[in-house]
Structure 1
Amino acid sequence: MSKLVLVGAGHAHMTIMDNIPAIRAKGHDVVVIGPGERHYYSGMGPGMLGGDYKPQDISFPVKRACEQAGATFLVDKCVSVRPDENIVVLESGTEIPYDVASFNTGSSIVDDVVRPGSEDIYTVKPIENLLKGRERVLSLARRDHVRIAVIGGGPAGVEVAGNAWACGQEAGGNVSVTLFHGRNFMSKAPEGVRRRCRETLLRQGVELVGNAYVTAVETRRITLETGERHSADVIFIAMGVRPRPLFAPSGIPAGPDGGLLVNKYLQSPAYPNIFGGGDCIWFEPRPLDKVGVYAVRENPVLHHNVLAQLEGTPLQEFDPGGDYLLIYNTGGRTGVLHKYGIIFGGKPAFWIKDHIDSAFMKAFKPEYERTGRYA
């Protein structure tokens, strides 16, 4: 019996995990490795911080679902790969052999500015950190005014700042929020998107601090490159993402950002039995933004290609597609939408995002989570 190993239980592996029974019926064993029993959908993470969603609303019970489908699920973390031996090495020391492996290990937040040992500092990935930050804000706000700082001027910083404000409103308004956005604010977004996001945050009372980068973050203190210092009780880090340093140290070709180098088949050019999707890859034909839409689009191709590799049938090319819809959750059930040059904000933008995200969750959640009934 050949073995398929899925390293990561994220968005790009959803279709494969949904088809585990059919894969096993063809005579293939399936092992899934994930850091937790549930996988959180990052697109709804800021809404969880702001109180729009509960943890179970934005997460998949991946361990339970995979095990009920007949796969082996290991709560662990891949720390290296021995590609010439077809072995994945886990943090626990366990070594897992594979015939075909697919990686969907996501990305981690750039947090180089955080001093070791600091407290009350939360990177926005893993998404569970936003829940921890929310609980900390609500706990502190029961006793005193809470100063929240968000570090990062991109979409994640904007979404976390707006939803930190919403969390503060839930706490009785006993919260102030400051967004430190360096020298740029939403620099990759169109001007209309930048303007609407800025206006929304200012209307909410979020203070915007720019024109200087943050160089150090420690417990209750933020230092700018100018030497200027600011105080905060709770600090969120949203400074951008990068793949974990897994592939190049394992001798597997990687892209400029350290992500797994893959060809048009989402396949390693050097190791044809290794595939990948989502934030952890570098797509050789052209760089892709680190957005969830590509992981979702990669789903059917990864499913087809890992099975094709196992069975010796032709692979399918991945077409990233054209423009995609972007909606930012700016807190307080408001948002900013952008596609094909159409830009608008407010509650209608949030309603559209909520509808799309909720439909995505419903499509991939097992029957027992959707209805409370067991088959």
Structure 2
Amino acid sequence: MLMAEQPGSLTLLLLGGGHTHALLLLALARDPLPNVRVVLVSERPLSPYSGMLPGLVAGHYQYEEAHIDLLALCRQVGAEFVEGRVKGLDCSRRVAHLENGEALHYDYLSLNIGAVPDLSTPGASDYAIPVKPIADFWPRWREAYASLSVDPEVRNIVVVGGGAGGVELAFAIAYALQSAPVVHQVSLAARNAPVADYPKRMRRWLQRRFDQRGVIALTDFNVAEVASDRLIDDKGRTAPADHVFWCTQGKAAPWLSETELSLTAEGFIRVTPSLQSIAFPEVFAVGDCAWIDASPTPRAGVYAVRQAPFLLDNLHRLLRGLPMRAYRPQRRFLSLLACGGRDAVGARGRISLAGQWVWRWKDSIDRRFMRRFPHS
């Protein structure tokens, strides 16, 4: 069924409720696009704020505190909300197809759909719990937590992935299980040293906290197979694992490969510095699903947040026939990593920070960000 357009208006279709689109909607309330109907499509009405996930697992936040209420946001700014999952795009006809059979026409399109878990490692789809999407991860974590918090036997819990997300999750799990009847072993399996691209001083502080909290860092451990009770790396070494949490780099949504969009070899959407698709100028892509050929960056929420004002400006420019504005990712940004309890480490460039005051700073930043959004 094709959704009807409102007479005399253009349609901006937003696929995905990620950080960029949430901030775009806030900005549209102050600076609306003239004569443009805005429709947001998201699989769920609550969108997780990634900065608060470790605190959510550790028990510092409630579920609603760590999620953006997209339905309330759309109501506040006068946008339409459609709950559904996208299964394909017909870019030539400017139509998005949903899994429920609905077809949504657009004049302008923006994709902020993120990445999906890469569970191609043998056994990962059977025995590992992917951290994303968080809406699926959360009930599985709560089930594991309920079991582990009363289990009289020591269990081995392994987080796979040595990036910032994996490090924070390992700390959060160790902290959450402090009240268990036994001290469960939490480990972090990483292909290289955890957060290897961070300053040495910060990594020393992280290692000190690993030691204090009993978290084992399995470095140079490239997981090649996940079994029911262990991990096996590409050198044949094993590590005991009763619970495995998968926090590796995601992959592109598979359905993108069936579209007419220009994609990278890995399946991500190639965009110009103006955040427009190389193949279709009326299509924008932001966040983890996009790849800027001119200035590739790691997939991190800080970039998605900074893209929102550029996306709004370029939508205005496209409507008015003006030259596009180039988004240039910042070279340095503040990175704060929660270490389970109300303690954190951080870095910006070569400057490293650590302590409870850093956690309070991070908590203040995260809460201030979330206060910008309405709640039902």
Could you tell me the TM-score, scaled by structure 1's length? Answer: 0.90
Which of 206, 213, 220 is the aligned partner of 2:215?
Answer: 206
- Answering whether residue 75 of structure 2 is matched by residue 63 of structure 1, we say no
State the Cα deviation string for residues 318-353 of structure 1 (Å, max 9, x = none).
232331101111211221110131112221221121
Q: CA deviation at 1:150?
A: 0.9
Report the counterpart of residue 5 of structure 1 in structure 2. Answer: 13
Report the counterpart of residue 5 of structure 2 in structure 1. Answer: none
Code of the residue aligned with 1:12 in structure 2: it is: T
Report the counterpart of residue 37 of structure 1 in structure 2. Answer: 45
CA pair 350-173 structure 1, distance change in 2 beyond 3 A: farther
Report the counterpart of residue 52 of structure 1 in structure 2. Answer: 60
Report the counterpart of residue 344 of structure 2 in structure 1. Answer: 335
CA pair 177-25 structure 1, distance change in 2 beyond 3 A: closer
- How many residues align? The count is 366
State the Cα deviation string for residues 134-159 of structure 1 (Å, max 9, x = none).
41233112243343111112222211
User: How do residues 29-178 of structure 1 correspond to structure 2 at under 5 angstroms?
Assistant: 29-113=37-121, 115=123, 118-119=126-127, 121-140=128-147, 141-145=149-153, 146-171=155-180, 174-178=183-187
| Regions of 4+ moved over 6 Å | 22-25
Code of the residue aligned with 2:285 in structure 1: it is: G
Is the Cα contact below 8 Å between 1:186 and 1:194 reproduced in 2? yes
Is the Cα contact below 8 Å between 2:269 and 2:291 reproduced in 1? yes
Q: CA deviation at 1:224?
A: 2.4
Is the Cα contact below 8 Å between 2:271 and 2:284 reproduced in 1? yes
Report the counterpart of residue 202 of structure 2 in structure 1. Answer: 193
Q: Distance in 2 between matches of 1:286 and 1:172?
A: 50
Report the counterpart of residue 279 of structure 1 in structure 2. Answer: 288
Q: Distance in 2 between matches of 1:131 and 1:170?
A: 20
For structure 2, the residue ranges without an aligned partner over 5 or more in a row are 1-8
Q: CA deviation at 1:61?
A: 0.7
Q: Secondary structure at the match of 1:296?
A: helix
Code of the residue aligned with 1:262 in structure 2: it is: V
Q: Secondary structure at the match of 2:296?
A: coil
CA pair 116-240 structure 1, distance change in 2 beyond 3 A: closer
Could you tell me the TM-score, scaled by structure 2's length? Answer: 0.90
Q: CA deviation at 1:308?
A: 3.1
Report the counterpart of residue 34 of structure 2 in structure 1. Answer: 26
CA pair 335-297 structure 1, distance change in 2 beyond 3 A: same
Q: Distance in 2 between matches of 1:170 and 1:190?
A: 33
Cα RMSD over matched residues?
2.2
State the Cα deviation string for residues 339-374 of structure 1 (Å, max 9, x = none).
1311122212211211111111112x11x55xxxxx
For structure 1, the residue ranges without an aligned partner over 5 or more in a row are 370-375
Deviates more, 1:134-143 or 1:195-204: 134-143
- Answering whether residue 318 of structure 2 is matched by residue 309 of structure 1, we say yes
Is the Cα contact below 8 Å between 2:33 and 2:316 reproduced in 1? no
Q: CA deviation at 1:97?
A: 1.0
Report the counterpart of residue 352 of structure 1 in structure 2. Answer: 361
